[in-house]
C-alpha cells in the first residue's frame, strides 16, 4: 500500500470513526511515516547523533535504494513493519511469509484494540500498528527476507478486467522484469513489482493468486478491519462500514487508475477537502488536510513519541517471533 491508502484512506476511516480532523490527521501521518522513516543520509551518522543527544532512539521502518541493495538492516525493517510473519508452514522461511488473518495479525489487532485514549502515545500506536496490519492484506504471501519463497512466475495484471499482460515501460514487460528481480533480489514482493500495492489492479501469478487477485477487494477488507479498531478505540458503537461508505471507498479504490502515487494521493485529498466522504463535523482541518512528514518529525516531543512506538512495535514482534523459535531480528547492524 502507498501514500493514498496509508494516509488518505486511514484519514477517512479515522474521521468516520469519530476522531476529530486534527487527531485523524496525526493518526494518518503516523501511518504513512512508517514508509517515509528511512535513513536519508546513509553515509553519515550526524543526524542519528543529534537524535541521541535529544534522548530519541531512532529506528528506521523503511529502506532507501542503497539500504535494499546493501542489505543493511533489511530484515529488521521489512519483517516487523511491512511483512508481518504469518507463522504458518514447516520451515522458518515459510513461517516468515506474511498472511492476512494470521495468528500474528490477530495478536496485533487485539494489541491495537487495547489502546486507550488516555495513553499519550495512542495516535502513534494506532498509526504504526494499522500500517503494519493493513500491509498484511497488500503483502500477503510474501516475506520480508531474501528467499525463494518470494519467487513470482508468469506475472499478469490488468486494470480493466481482462487478464492480459501489460507493458511496464517501452522495453520491459512485467513477466520479464519479474524474472530479473526474482534472480537478483527475491526480497518481499519485488518480483511482483508494485502490483500488490495499487488498489485498482487485478493481477495473478503462476503459483499464487492463480485465480486472480482483485486488490480493491483486499483493500476493502483491510479497511473494514481498521475501521473496527478505530471505532473501538474512539468509543463509538462498532457498526462496521455502511454500504454508502463502502461504495465511496470502492469508487476511489477502483477509480483512481494511475501508477503515479502522488496523483492517487491527490485524488484522495481532493475528495476529502470537498467532503465527498460526508463527515458529519466537516471543518477547516478537513478543508486544508495534507500529509507532511514535518507534522511529526518537526515536533521534538512527537518525534520522540513516534520513535518510542516504532521501537515498541519492533520489540513486540521480536518477542513474538522468539516465542515461536524464530530468532532473526536485531542480529546485525545494531545501530538499527
SS3 85: strand
User: In what helix (H) or strand (E) does residue 128 lie, and over which residues does it extend?
Assistant: helix 122-138
- Using pLDDT thresholds of 50, 70 and 90, give the confidence band for residue 206: low
Q: Residue 64 above 80 pLDDT? A: no
pLDDT at 279: 98
pLDDT tens readout for residues 234-282: 999 999 999 999 999 999 999 999 989 999 999 999 999 999 999 999 9
Note whether 203 and 209 are within 8 A (CB): yes
**53 has pLDDT over 60:** yes
pLDDT band at residue 42 under the 50/70/90 scheme: low
Question: pLDDT value at position 169?
Answer: 37
8 Å CB contact between 267 and 256? yes
- How many residues comprise the chain? 336
Pull the grid cell for residue 266: 491527490
Would you put residue 37 in left (φ > 0), alpha (ψ -120 to 50) or beta? beta
Percent residues over pLDDT 70 in the chain: 77
Q: What are phi and psi of 187, to 5 degrees?
A: -105, 125
Segment 113-126 shows an average pLDDT of 95
Cell 493481477 locates to: 203
* Mean per-residue pLDDT, 213-242: 96
Higher per-residue pLDDT: 41 or 197: 197
Residue 185 reports pLDDT greater than 60: no
pLDDT band at 44 (very low <50, low <70, confident <90, very high): low
* The predicted structure's pLDDT at residue 182: 45
Cβ count within 10 A of residue 280: 8
| Residue 263 near residue 143, CB atoms below 8 Å | no
CA–CA gap between residue 113 and residue 125 (Å, rounded): 11
The values of phi and psi at residue 156, to 5°, are: -130, 145
DSSP 327: -
- Across all residues in the chain, what is the average pLDDT? 85
Phi/psi class of residue 174: alpha, beta or left (left: φ > 0; alpha: ψ in -120 to 50)?
alpha
Decide the pairing of beta strands 213-214 and 156-158: unpaired
φ and ψ at residue 321, rounded to 5 degrees: -70, -40
What pLDDT is recorded for position 168? 35
Q: In the block, which residue shows the cell 531480528?
A: 329
What local confidence, expressed as pLDDT, does residue 269 receive? 98
Set of cell numbers at residue 262: 502522488
Q: What is the pLDDT of residue 191?
A: 45
Q: Which residues contact 279 (CB under 8 A, 6 or more apart)?
A: 15, 16, 21, 286
* Average pLDDT of span 91-119: 95
Please tell me the number of Cα atoms within 13 Å of 129 on its side-chain side.
30
Q: Is the pLDDT of residue 130 over 50?
A: yes
pLDDT at 73: 79
Asked if the model's pLDDT at residue 292 lies above 80, the reply is: yes
Confidence (pLDDT) at 153: 52
- Least confidently predicted of 50-54, 78-82, 165-169, 318-322: 165-169
Cα-trace Rg, the chain? 19
Give me the pLDDT at residue 63, please: 85
CB 112 within 8 A of CB 129: yes
Mean pLDDT across 79-105: 95
Are residues 88 and 95 in contact, defined by beta-carbon separation less than 8 angstroms? Answer: yes
* Angstrom distance (rounded) from CA 146 to CA 159: 29
CA 200/CA 257 separation, integer angstroms: 6
Rounded Cα–Cα distance for residues 76 and 92 (Å): 16
Amino acid at each position: 500500500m502507498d501514500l493514498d491508502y496509508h494516509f488518505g484512506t486511514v484519514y477517512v476511516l479515522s474521521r468516520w470513526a469519530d476522531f476529530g480532523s486534527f487527531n485523524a490527521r496525526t493518526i494518518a501521518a503516523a501511518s504513512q511515516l512508517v514508509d517515509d522513516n528511512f535513513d536519508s543520509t546513509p553515509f553519515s551518522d550526524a543526524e542519528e547523533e543529534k537524535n541521541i543527544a535529544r534522548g530519541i532512539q531512532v529506528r528506521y521502518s523503511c529502506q532507501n535504494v542503497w539500504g535494499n541493495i546493501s542489505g543493511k538492516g533489511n530484515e529488521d525493517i521489512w519483517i516487523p513493519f511491512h511483512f508481518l510473519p504469518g507463522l504458518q508452514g514447516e520451515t522458518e522461511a515459510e513461517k516468515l511469509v506474511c498472511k492476512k488473518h494470521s495468528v500474528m495479525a490477530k495478536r496485533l489487532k487485539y494489541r491495537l484494540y487495547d489502546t486507550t485514549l488516555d495513553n499519550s502515545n495512542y495516535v502513534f500506536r494506532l498509526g504504526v500498528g494499522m500500517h503494519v496490519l493493513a500491509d498484511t492484506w497488500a503483502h500477503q504471501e510474501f516475506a520480508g527476507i531474501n528467499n525463494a519463497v518470494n519467487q513470482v512466475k508468469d506475472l499478469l495484471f490488468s486494470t480493466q478486467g481482462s487478464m492480459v499482460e501489460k507493458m511496464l515501460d517501452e522495453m520491459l514487460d512485467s513477466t520479464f522484469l519479474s524474472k530479473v528481480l526474482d534472480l537478483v533480489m527475491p526480497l518481499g514482493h519485488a518480483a511482483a513489482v508494485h502490483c500488490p500495492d495499487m488498489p485498482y489492479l487485478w493481477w495473478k501469478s503462476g503459483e499464487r493468486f492463480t485465480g486472480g487477485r482483485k486488490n480493491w477487494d483486499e483493500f476493502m477488507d483491510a479497511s473494514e478491519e481498521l475501521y473496527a479498531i478505530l471505532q473501538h478505540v474512539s468509543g463509538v458503537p462498532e457498526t462496521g462500514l455502511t454500504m454508502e461508505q463502502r461504495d465511496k471507498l470502492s469508487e476511489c479504490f477502483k477509480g483512481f487508475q494511475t501508477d503515479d502515487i502522488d496523483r492517487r494521493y491527490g485524488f484522495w485529498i481532493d475528495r476529502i477537502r470537498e467532503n465527498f466522504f460526508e463527515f458529519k463535523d466537516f471543518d477547516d482541518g478537513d478543508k486544508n488536510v495534507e500529509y507532511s512528514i514535518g507534522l511529526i518529525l518537526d515536533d521534538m516531543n512527537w518525534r520522540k513519541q513516534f520513535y518510542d512506538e516504532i521501537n515498541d512495535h519492533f520489540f513486540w514482534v521480536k518477542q513474538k517471533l522468539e516465542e515461536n523459535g524464530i530468532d532473526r531480528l536485531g542480529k546485525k547492524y545494531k545501530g538499527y
